[in-house]
Structure 1
Amino acid sequence: MKKIVLTGANGNLGQELRGLLAGLCDELVSTDIAEGVGDLLDNETFVQADLSEMDQVRPLLEGAEMVVHFGAIVDELPFDQMWGPNFMGSYNIWESARQLGVRRVVYASSIHAMGMYPKTTRIDTEMPHRPDTYYGFAKCFTEDLGRMYWEKEGIESVHLRIYSATSKPGNARALGSWLSFDDLRQLVARSIDTPVVGFTVVYGVSNNDRCPVDNSAAAFLGYRPKDNAEIYAEEVFAKEPAADLSDLGQTCHGGPFASAVLGVSPMGQMAIPDKED
């Protein structure tokens, strides 16, 4: 490809993807609301931009074939603070893609679009949304936005319901939900190089023995995760307290986001060894 645009390039996962994406195109345009992303790769340029402002987004997509859209507030905050980056930002990406003829958007969705399902329910890609927070609701909005732009305008999109993308699992929940960085890169690569995707939802999880989701409907992408959180199970269980079954954060897929007060960050409750969804 001639050009790929990466939003949220200075985020934890954006930084993990820059090298992969640079190898798949002639020109990688990385963007973030932050002032920079560090040292640039040979074929990478950086543009500081606010995704909530259409006049800053549209020029980024000129001449692009695909957008890897990871830019957003990655936390639970009051709705009015989420509106610009997480809702308007997605609209600005898809509407710019429509105007400029961009072929496909690969979007960092989240398990939090489905976070209120009980852990005892194995969830697939066809079940209705059950968001756990305003953050999760923004993911539902963008998935539906992507479906509409596919059905009405022919813009393809792959929505990656990322679960727990970290250097290693940090708690018992992550023994099922972990997504290694190597598997993240494979998932994004398959979302880009699969010839036809239409509108597709796929869960971002590794090959975990305790995986709580079903990706069979997205098997055509060729995503075959290799890492397994089970190698960390003994270490995790040695420090994990007994489960509190009255806590939605321990009984629902969304973890601490499921028990969070709307508009209030639950990040302080999360055991994050390095980087998380």
Structure 2
Amino acid sequence: MTARILITGAAGGLGTLMRPRLAEGGRVLRLLDIADIPAAADDESVEVVRASVTDMAAMEEAMSGVDAVIHLGGHSLEVPWEQILDVNVNGTHTVLEAARRQGVTRVVLASSNHAVGYVPKADGEAGDDLFPRPDTYYGVSKVAMEALGSLYADRYGMDVIAIRIGSCFEKPRDARMLSTWLSPDDAARLFEACLAAPSPGFRVVWGVSDNTRRWFSLDGAFALGYESKDDAEVFASEVGTPDPTSPAEQRVGGVWCGPDFDTAVKEAGQ
């Protein structure tokens, strides 16, 4: 049977990185976004849906015939509360509820390190079960995402895995990412593990590569079958040496814990 995977937010940065990596023989990727997604007209392995994750009717239709969902849709940076609430929080509820209504039982949620951003950087490894300490409205939305995932797993028996992603780019962009980097190839391997793990129920796991300097435990991800093959250390000479006195090195959320990400202050000044 052909597996059909719905990817929300497929036109975004992470979605763009994952699309070619999650394509495989016999699998159909249904790509959903409000933005344009270029796709080959004769490629039967790709289906494009232009819709918002906040539109219940559209999401129910998009879920038809789907075997699993990878939910990447939403604002990826700090924005005013009304936008976060509408797209990131209500949008996640819409995705989960539409999946439930259409009988889709496996959902993978893209959470974030910013759900626990105010946790001081661990001397050893931060566990998968860190209590939420969000650093922004965006971080709050990821806490809500995890809570909604837990609800839908417990109440409706769905398998829901929330991945607290560190920093997923082609390569680390700064010294902090030597610890938080998730390579695109490792990200695809982690998503594949989340899709394949038998009866995981609800779980929160860290999404990082097995970096020499990583702050985060990968026990939960490894238990799902994830195998990291990349290490940010190969880029160390390009990004320089981390400054232990820098705000970026003090807490899990890095500079997001600083004043530049205080959206309430920005809104008050408008």
User: What amino acid maps onto 2:177 in structure 1?
Assistant: A
Q: 1:116 aligns with which of 98, 115, 118?
A: 118
> Secondary structure at the residue paired with 2:77?
coil
Once the two structures are superposed, what CA deviation does each residue of 1:66-125 show, in whole Å capped at 9, x if it has no partner?
A: 011111110001100111210111000111111111010011111111111111353111
Matches within 5 A, 1:21-170: 21-23=22-24, 25-39=26-40, 41-121=43-123, 122-170=125-173
| Amino acid paired to 1:116 | Y
Residue of structure 1 in register with 2:224 after alignment: 221
Task: Report which stretch shifted further, 14-23 or 196-205.
Answer: 14-23
Residue equivalent to 1:271: none
Q: Which amino acid aligns with 2:149?
A: G
TM-score by length of 2: 0.90
Structure 1 residues without counterparts, runs of 5 or longer: 267-277
Deviation at 1:155, TM superposition (A): 0.9
| Counterpart Cα distance in 1 of 2:116 and 2:38 | 31
**What is the alpha-carbon distance in structure 2 between the residues aligned to residue 30 and residue 265 of structure 1?**
36
Q: Secondary structure at the residue paired with 2:69?
A: strand
Matched-pair contact (CA < 8 Å) for 2:78–2:261? no
Partner-residue secondary structure (3-state), 2:240:
helix
CA-atom RMSD, angstroms? 2.1
User: Sequence identity, in percent?
Assistant: 35
Runs of 4+ in 1 over 6 A off after TM superposition: none
Alignment partner, residue 256 of structure 1: 255
Report the equivalent of 1:236: 239
- Check the 8 A contact 1:125/1:214 in 2, yes or no: yes
Q: CA shift at 1:19, angstroms?
A: 2.5
Partner AA of 1:70 in structure 2: L
The partner residue of 1:180 within 180, 183, 188 is 183
* Structure 1 residue 254 displacement after superposition: 0.5
Cα pair distance change 1:102/1:208, threshold 3 Å: same
How many angstroms does 1:203 deviate by? 0.9
TM-score by length of 1: 0.88
**Conserved? CA contact 1:163–1:179, under 8 Å:** yes
Question: For the structure 1 residues 217 and 29, does the alpha-carbon distance in structure 2 shift closer, same or farther, using more than 3 Å as the test?
Answer: closer
Give unmatched runs, 5+ long, in structure 2. none
Q: Say if 1:52 and 1:262 are closer, same or farther in 2 by CA, change over 3 A.
A: farther
Q: Distance in 1 between matches of 2:216 and 2:190?
A: 15
Structure 2: which amino acid aligns with 1:15? T
Conserved 8 A contact 1:9-1:37: no
Q: Distance in 2 between matches of 1:177 and 1:161?
A: 11
* Residues 1:205 and 2:204 aligned together: no
Contact preservation (8 Å) 2:207, 2:221: no
Distance in 2 (CA, whole Å) between partners of 1:182 and 1:217 is: 18
Letter in structure 2 aligned against 1:78: P
Q: How does 1:188-199 map to 2 (within 5 A)?
A: 188-199=191-202
